Structure 1
C-alpha cells in the first residue's frame, strides 16, 4: 500500500484533526531500518481497558512503560513494536519512534484486544488461531494519517530534533498515544510538534490531532491510502478514500 501526499495545512498554535479509518484488507509490510541508537529514559506503566488498550515496552526486558524520551529522537531499535501503540477492538495503530514518525496499522480478523499477546508481529500459530497481523506497508511513504512538514515545496521529516518523547495512556473508554518532537528546524527557526492518536471504545476509527508550537504559520502534509480502484471524495475541509484493496 502506498500513501500519497494529498493535503496541506497552515496553522500556528492550533490543532488539526484528521480521522483514520480501519481498512479490512491491506498489503504486506516491510521493516524500516533504524537510524541511531539511544539511551532510554522510562516511567512504569499499567495501561489497559476492556475495549481499548495502550502498549509501549522495552525490547531488552519486555517491561511495559508509559513514557520514553530520547535526545537523538530515535528509539526504534530499543522499543517493542518500534514505538508506542494503541488499539480498539477492530484495529491497532503504532507510530515509529524515529525520524519518520510514521503511523502503521495492525489489521484484525475478528474483534478483540491482541497487542499484549502478539506484540504486533504475530506468529504463524496465533494467525492460525484467528489473530490479526501487520499487513500494512509504510516503506518510504508518508504513511496513512502521518504528519510531515512542507517547506520550500518539499516534504520534510520531523528530524533532526533536540528531543523526542512518547507517552501512552488509557482513561475511561479511550486509549491515546502522544509523540512530541522538540526543536525541529523549520523556515529559519525551530518548532515543537505534538502528534496524538486516540482510539475509542465502540468506534472503528482513530482520531489524529497535530499540535504545533510556533508563533508563525506552519505548513503540514499528511498521507492518504491511494490505490487503483479506491473511491475518492473531497470537500471544503476534507479528503477521503475508501474501498477494498
Structure 2
C-alpha cells in the first residue's frame, strides 16, 4: 500500500474525569461522543476499569452507535484517567436493567403492542391521540420512579412512585390494581389538573403558561432503552408560537440509580428573546414549598391521584432546577411554582426535575428533609464532573 494512502483509524480515547466536589458521588453519568473514525463499534474495553458498566446508544436512529455511556462511582475530589478501546466484536456483558422506556398502542384485544415511535397530523383531535396510546403517552422508568408524557397538546409530565427500587412498569403500566398495591407495587401519584405538573414544558403568553396547540405534526419516540440510560422524545413541528412557526423536540433522560430526569428542549426557528415556561405544581393538599430567584423550587404535600381509590392518598415531593443561561425569571401562581425560560444561542433549553414519595422506602420522609435534599442536589448540578477526551490513533 502506498504510504500516502494509509488512513489513520481511531484506536482508543484517553478520558479524564474529575469530581470537583469534596464529597463522594455514585452512578455519575459520563457521556462520550463516538467519533465516526472509530469505525464499526459493537463493544468497548476499559483496561483500567474492566468491570465498568457501559452502554452504546444510537441517538439519531441511523443504525450506528454515536454515544457511549459510562456510570462511575467517584471519591471526593477524585480524578480518574483511563482509555476506552473500541471493538467490532459483540459485547459479552449482561447488565441488570436499571432503566426502561416504551410506547404502547391501545388495541381492542388489549395486547398493547410496543412501538418505537408515532406521529400524528396536527389536526388530529387531542382526545383521540391521548386515548390511542396505552398509558396516554411515552413512559420513562428508573429504579425509584417513572414518568409519562401525555400525547396531546398539554404534553404534561405525570409521576409514578415505587415502594422498592426496581423496574415494574411492564407489570402495572401506570394502572396499578388494588391487588398489585397489596403486593407492594407502586402507582401513579400525581393529579396534574391545569398545573405544569412535574416540569412540563409550556409556552408563555405574558401572564400564564400556555399549551402547544397549533402544530403541523406532533409525535413521540423512544430514542434508546437500556440498562444504564433510557431516553424519550416529544416532537412538535410547525408550532405556531406567538405568530412564529417553531420546530421543537423535547428530550427526557433517566440514568440508572437516579431519581431525577434531565430535560433538553431543542427549538428551531424561535425568535430572539422568546420566553417559555416550566415549573412544578403545588401539591393538592397541605402543600409546603419554595422557589428561589436562582431557579430551584420544591413542593411537598398530600395528593389523591385516583378518585376510584379515595381511601389511598400519597404524600410526595417535587423539585426542579433551572440554571443560567436558560433562567429568565421565577414566580408563582395559585397552582404552580413557575420558571420562565429563554433558549441559549443554539436554541436549546436545559433543566432537571426530580421527585420523592413517602411510599418510596429510599425517599426523604418530610418536607424539611426533602427541601434539604433539593439544596444538596442543586449543589451537585452546579458542580458537574469535568470530562475531557483526547483521541489516539493507529495506522492501517
TM-score of the aligned structures, taking structure 2 as reference length:
0.47
Q: List runs of 5+ in structure 1 lacking aligned partners.
A: 1-47
1:232 and 2:290 are equivalent in the alignment: yes
Counterparts of 2:236 and 2:218, CA distance in 1: 5
Offset of residue 142 of structure 1: 2.1
Identify the structure with bigger relative contact order (alpha carbons < 8 Å, sequence gap 6+).
1
Indicate the residue corresponding to 1:103 in structure 2: 157
Indicate the residue corresponding to 2:169 in structure 1: 115
Give yes or no for contact 1:70–1:163 (8 Å, CA) kept in 2. yes
Secondary structure of the residue aligned to 1:161 is coil
1:179 and 2:234 are equivalent in the alignment: yes
Question: Superposed, which structure 2 residues align to 1:1-245 within 5 Å?
Answer: 50-60=97-107, 61-72=111-122, 74=126, 75-168=129-222, 169-171=224-226, 173-217=228-272, 218-227=274-283, 228-236=286-294, 238-243=295-300, 245=302
Q: Cα gap change, 1:49/1:147 in structure 2, threshold over 3 Å: closer, same or farther?
A: farther
Counterparts of 2:242 and 2:249, CA distance in 1: 18
Q: Cα gap change, 1:124/1:109 in structure 2, threshold over 3 Å: closer, same or farther?
A: same
Give yes or no for contact 1:225–1:241 (8 Å, CA) kept in 2. no
Counterparts of 1:81 and 1:164, CA distance in 2: 17
Indicate the residue corresponding to 2:326 in structure 1: none
Once superposed, what is the RMSD of the aligned Cα atoms? Answer: 2.0
Identify the structure with the greater strand proportion: 2
Counterparts of 1:152 and 1:202, CA distance in 2: 38
Q: Deviations over 1:183-209 (max 9, x none)?
A: 111122211221111111011111112
Q: Cα gap change, 1:189/1:225 in structure 2, threshold over 3 Å: closer, same or farther?
A: closer
TM-score of the aligned structures, taking structure 1 as reference length:
0.74
Q: Deviations over 1:56-108 (max 9, x none)?
A: 11111411011011013642111110010111010010000001111000111
Secondary structure of the residue aligned to 1:221 is strand
Counterparts of 2:199 and 2:280, CA distance in 1: 6
Secondary structure of the residue aligned to 1:81 is strand
Give yes or no for contact 2:146–2:159 (8 Å, CA) kept in 1. yes
Identify the structure with the greater helix proportion: 2
Offset of residue 154 of structure 1: 4.0
Q: List runs of 5+ in structure 2 lacking aligned partners.
A: 1-94, 303-396
Offset of residue 226 of structure 1: 2.1
Structure number, greater radius of gyration = 2
Q: Deviations over 1:12-61 (max 9, x none)?
A: xxxxxxxxxxxxxxxxxxxxxxxxxxxxxxxxxxxx97100012111114
